């Protein structure tokens, strides 16, 4: 980018900051298409993104876990996601900045034809150039892991769609690794290396995460297989208060979906956090508080992440809850701790990334009740069909962000 265009971009950004400072937060949504066309921001309209610290919407303790949760969140089984990861381990060691030969790329690197780059070691122009284009259009650096994962998913749904078909037919991590290599990677590895090394990688990865990352294809676990079922339900063995008569809010309700949540987003795009808090406040205080109310107050008082384009910070339950007279208490990732809140007429808010009821980018939900059988009922503002389902507590907690589970009480 030459100096002239850099000056133009800086001028646009300064103008936006000035306009935002004098524009009411409950005004109509800012024109997201305009910003995208001017290379100002990146957003994903299909996900309600939640982050806690840092600037990545991916969830996991390291790149491997982030990769697995990303693909499981897209609807693949853990075995299939492990097959992909088994290939990436051989290609790049899960390093999105690696260049063929061992050098490390920086943010300004431009892939070179015939030289592999990134987690999948994209080698030739026909696959490198679209990656560069996505980097520019989404305002993410070429070494951003989320960029490269999104690009791989685009390929799997376009010019590598055959790989996605065969991958979804695989039932073991070894088979998934083999077909992903054959139909997506296509390296010069020998048959032995493909099956023993890439397949072996996939099997180890699957076994490592089988107990912590549930498949996206199921929404409940068979509790009869659990060795200790004593923690599935506490209290008097009856439904907790908000099994019935709970007010659900849809963040895409026309009454507020296009209203601003911060400078760069709308409630419909990124308002799962305020919508969850609106459900909680309405239930616990008997006052009708809408997502527009909570989003407006939250944006003014610091709940938005990156002006809303990355959703909500992990302070949302405290800032918004206290304003409406509620108390928030951080909980451990434990069924008994959550059930104790539910059985004492409280509610729980949590976020996570992965299979439903969460989303691949991250999503807030309300845990609203525990049933007679120990299952959980939820409040989901993004996919409202989930509000009629019962979920196994272990399933939810395996996906939820362990440090972002909060009990809300009067």
Instruction: Work out the average pLDDT over 114-136.
Output: 96
pLDDT of residue 59: 74
Q: Is the pLDDT of residue 255 over 70?
A: yes
What proportion of the chain, given as a percentage, has pLDDT over 90? 63
Higher pLDDT, residue 130 or 69: 130
Count of Cβ atoms closer than 10 Å to residue 402 Cβ:
13
> For 177-186, how does the pLDDT look when each residue is reduced to its tens digit (9 = 90+)?
999 999 999 9
pLDDT of residue 57: 53
Higher pLDDT, residue 227 or 282: 282
DSSP letter for 307, please.
Answer: G
- 168: enclosing H helix or E strand: helix 161-169
Instruction: Work out the average pLDDT over 149-162.
Output: 94
Q: How far apart are CA 176 and CA 163, in angstroms?
A: 10
Q: Is the pLDDT of residue 373 over 50?
A: yes
Q: Which of 105-109, 229-233, 401-405 has the lowest mean pLDDT?
A: 229-233
pLDDT of residue 45: 38
Q: Exposed, middle or buried, 406 (CB in 10 Å: 0-12/13-18/19+)?
A: buried
> For 284-334, how does the pLDDT look when each residue is reduced to its tens digit (9 = 90+)?
998 899 999 999 999 999 999 988 888 999 999 999 999 999 999 999 999
Q: Is the pLDDT of residue 247 over 60?
A: yes
Q: How far apart are CA 193 and CA 142, in angstroms?
A: 29
Q: Is the pLDDT of residue 135 over 90?
A: yes
Domains of the chain, each with CATH number or no CATH: 63-209 (1.10.530.10), 223-409 (3.90.70.10)
Q: What is the widest separation between alpha-carbon atoms in the chain?
A: 70
pLDDT of residue 405: 96
pLDDT of residue 224: 33
Q: Is the pLDDT of residue 40 over 90?
A: no
Instruction: Work out the average pLDDT over 91-110.
Output: 95
* β-strand partners of 330: 406
Residue 309 near residue 51, CB atoms below 8 Å: no
Average pLDDT, the chain: 82
Q: Is the pLDDT of residue 22 over 90?
A: no
């Amino acid at each position: 980018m030459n100096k002239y265009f850099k000056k133009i971009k800086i001028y646009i950004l300064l103008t936006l900051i000035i306009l935002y400072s004098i524009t009411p937060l409950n005004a109509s949504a800012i024109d997201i298409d305009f910003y995208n066309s001017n290379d100002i921001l990146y957003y994903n309209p299909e996900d309600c993104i939640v982050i806690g610290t840092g600037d990545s919407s991916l969830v996991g303790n390291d790149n491997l876990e982030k990769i697995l949760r990303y693909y499981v969140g897209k609807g693949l089984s853990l075995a299939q996601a492990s097959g992909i990861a088994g290939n990436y381990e051989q290609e790049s060691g899960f390093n999105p900045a690696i260049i063929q030969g061992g050098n490390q790329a920086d943010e300004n690197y431009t892939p070179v034809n015939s030289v592999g780059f990134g987690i999948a070691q994209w080698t030739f122009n026909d696959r490198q150039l679209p990656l560069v284009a996505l980097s520019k259009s989404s305002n993410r650096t070429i070494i951003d892991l989320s960029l490269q994962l999104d690009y791989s998913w685009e390929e799997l749904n376009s010019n590598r769609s055959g790989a996605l078909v065969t991958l979804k037919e695989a039932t073991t991590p070894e088979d998934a690794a083999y077909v992903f290599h054959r139909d997506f990677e296509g390296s010069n590895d020998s048959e032995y290396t493909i099956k023993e090394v890439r397949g072996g990688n996939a099997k180890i990865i699957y076994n490592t995460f089988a107990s912590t990352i549930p498949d996206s294809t199921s929404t409940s676990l068979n509790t009869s297989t659990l060795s200790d079922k004593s923690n599935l339900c506490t209290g008097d063995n009856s439904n907790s208060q908000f099994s019935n008569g709970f007010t659900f809010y849809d963040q895409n309700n026309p009454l507020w979906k296009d209203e601003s949540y911060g400078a760069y987003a709308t409630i419909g795009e990124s308002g799962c956090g305020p919508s969850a808090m609106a459900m909680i406040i309405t239930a616990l205080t008997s006052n009708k508080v809408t997502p527009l109310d909570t989003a407006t107050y939250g944006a003014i008082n610091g709940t938005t992440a990156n002006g809303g384009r990355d959703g909500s910070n992990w302070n949302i339950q405290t800032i918004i809850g206290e304003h409406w007279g509620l108390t928030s208490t951080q909980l451990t990732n434990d069924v008994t701790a959550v059930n104790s809140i539910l059985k004492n007429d409280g509610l729980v808010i949590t976020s996570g990334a992965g299979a439903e009821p969460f989303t691949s980018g991250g999503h807030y939900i309300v845990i609203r009740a525990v049933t007679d059988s120990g299952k959980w009922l939820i409040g989901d503002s993004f996919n409202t069909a989930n509000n009629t389902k019962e979920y196994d507590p272990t399933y939810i907690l395996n996906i939820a962000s362990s440090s972002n589970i909060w009990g809300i009480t009067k």
